[in-house]
Structure 1
Amino acid sequence: MYSPSLRAHDVFRAAILIGFAWYIASLVKTDSLHYYLAPRMEIWIYWCPVALGFMAVFLLYRAISPEDEANCGCEHPISSSVIKNLLIYGLFLLPLTLGFLLPDRVLGTSAAIKKGFSLSSPLQTELYKENAGGGTSSTQQFMQKKIETSAGLPASTARSSSSSASKTFIAPDAYNEEFASLAGLLYEQPVIQVSPDIFSETIGAIELYKKDFIGKRISLTGFVYKDPQMESTAGSFAIGRFLVLCCTADALPFGVLVHTSEPSNLPNDTWVQIEGMIGTAQVQDQEVLRIDAAEIRKVDQPPIAYVYPNADSVAAFQRANALRTP
């Protein structure tokens, strides 16, 4: 027997599904998915409102449909405990309510402090940890795909650094071959423009061959990050970005140390564009990249503030460089 209480549960569940469908559809309509997901994951979300809508329609139909003949032994009774039902539905209602009430905003310094801000490229740091531990994670799987992609490229593209650059960089292992090719292209630039499309790859390539890039000019954009460790060095802060692999839950805050001739009064989370010379500094007995800033300009936060891994950073650099070249 399909009791009125069971029909009420179906109506309530349908309402929750419609709420989630409405919320996701609003994110798609306002182009706000990038606050939560990497672009390569967004395609899996586009059709969620449709699927959730069909599920809601089925529940509503079951709630108003005529009573079926009982089939004893095949039912899954709902708990009669009010507290248990409130807890279960609360698990869905709480995030849905917060999603509608809280504004969409990018992660900033407060999240970077909690996650731990790195002065090294996450692609390099995580890869080193995974190789040392013998594990395989999403970062290493992504790097493996990059190797496979590079292996399938024409020989002229794969050897671009050795054929067109005056300096050839030797990769220490297979995982760094793309960084070596990218480093050769970056080395030839009078001013290295760090594109958001290959932000982490560019920093990773320079970091891998930091000794060779000392004295080269560089320009990049990011948010200001300060902590007591950096404030102990006069005029130092970091310019950072969040690298998102799948969603903002796995976002990795990282950046480059910036040194200025005078103490900086820029508050945290200020977006700036910096141009200066590449150098190095010692932070907790670790040699990291440092930019000796020649110019610091405040800029607006970009529409898409996060950066993402690129499957072919060499090709992306060549496309961007072709657009900049008159």
Structure 2
Amino acid sequence: MMNDSKSIRIHYGLRAVILLAFALYIGHLVQQDALNYYVAPKLARWVKLCPVPLVLMAFSLVVQALFGKGSVLCDCDHRLPRSGHRSVVLYGLFLFPLLLGFLLPDRALGSMAVAKKGISLSYPSSDPYQEEFAILAQKLFAQPVIPVYPAIFSETFGAIDIYKHQFEGKEVAVAGFLYPTEAGSANNTFAVSRFLVQCCTADAAPFGIMVDPGKKISLPADTWIKVRGKLHIVHYKGQEIMQITAESITPISQPATPYIYTSTDSIAAWDQLQTAAKTAK
């Protein structure tokens, strides 16, 4: 028995509502400048355009529901839910996450997500980028204080990690959120961290560098801080990692773009960032 025309029209209307809700939610994220909490910039530019086709599809469904002839209404050979309860469950699977999206505050990933994913305190090198990291390491080593720019955060620490013995004792300045590591309960150390995002927050990977503040600090987890201090090699969980012996720890506001992303050309990015920094002075 085929789905009747009236039921199909009702479900067309419900589907139109869901599509419009998605369009409104994306528009809400764009208006609140919160889209960067969920997707990488290269994807965000396309997500911003999604409300247009979503609204057009919803409009098409509404037109068909109101004015479509019964003989041409499509049930796509799928049985509709047999009861109103099942329909509520089916469409609730789409509407409930949207409701949470509207009701819950938009915020960047923090320590809770790090605890689930596990933080990386070392930066594995890849042979194709060995030469690039070597050049970047030379540029970093020449600085009296190494600035860790968010645009090349992982590349900077990757270069330092490869040549960690050469960077022993060098001074560095880095910003991120405070993550209390397991070791921190005993000796007050913590990690200053950032999430590396390739596409969206589903693939976000937490990276950071250990910090020894020298004394107990009262800042809570997820506080955004700028740390300045000297790099030293320490042993942590059976491996050598870099650690900052802090000379200053300053609370800062969360940046507009809290995540970090990979750079296609870290050398060019470094040169541009250095030029911009000198111009700003």
Shorter-normalised TM range: over 0.9
1:311 shift after superposition: 1.0
Residue in structure 2 matched with residue 105 of structure 1 by the alignment: 107
Residue pair 2:8, 2:73 contacting (<8 A) in 1 also: no
Residue in structure 2 matched with residue 39 of structure 1 by the alignment: 41
Q: Which amino acid aligns with 1:248?
A: T
Q: Does 1:203 align with 2:157?
A: yes
Q: Which amino acid aligns with 2:150?
A: P
Q: Specify which of 21, 24, 38 is matched with residue 23 of structure 2.
A: 21
Q: Specify which of 52, 56, 59 is matched with residue 57 of structure 1.
A: 59
Deviation string 1:36-67 (CA, Å, 9 cap, x unpaired) is: 00111112212210111111011101111152
Identity %: 44
Query: 2:240 is paired with a residue of what secondary structure?
Result: strand
Q: Specify which of 164, 167, 172 is matched with residue 218 of structure 1.
A: 172
Deviation string 1:120-170 (CA, Å, 9 cap, x unpaired) is: 23xx27x6xxxxxxxxxxxxxxxxxxxxxxxxxxxxxxxxxxxxxxxxxxx
- Matched residue pairs, number? 277
Equivalent residues in 2 for 1:68-107, closer than 5 Å:
68-69=70-71, 75-107=77-109
State the distance in 1 between where 2:230 and 2:88 align. Answer: 59
Residue pair 1:274, 1:293 contacting (<8 A) in 2 also: yes
Residue pair 2:5, 2:73 contacting (<8 A) in 1 also: no
Query: Which residues of structure 2 form unaligned runs of 5+?
Result: none
Equivalent residues in 2 for 1:74-153, closer than 5 Å:
75-121=77-123, 124=124
* TM-score, L = length of structure 2: 0.92
1:6 shift after superposition: 1.7
State the distance in 2 between where 1:45 and 1:279 align. Answer: 43
**Change in CA separation of 1:285 and 1:78 when aligned onto 2, cut-off 3 Å:** same
Residue in structure 2 matched with residue 304 of structure 1 by the alignment: 257
Residue pair 1:236, 1:258 contacting (<8 A) in 2 also: yes
Residue in structure 2 matched with residue 263 of structure 1 by the alignment: 216
Query: Which residues of structure 1 form unaligned runs of 5+?
Result: 128-172
Q: Specify which of 175, 184, 188 is matched with residue 142 of structure 2.
A: 188
* TM-score, L = length of structure 1: 0.80
Q: Specify which of 182, 196, 202 is matched with residue 249 of structure 1.
A: 202
Superposed CA RMSD in Å reads 2.0
Give the structure with the higher percent helix.
Answer: 1
Query: 2:102 is paired with a residue of what secondary structure?
Result: helix
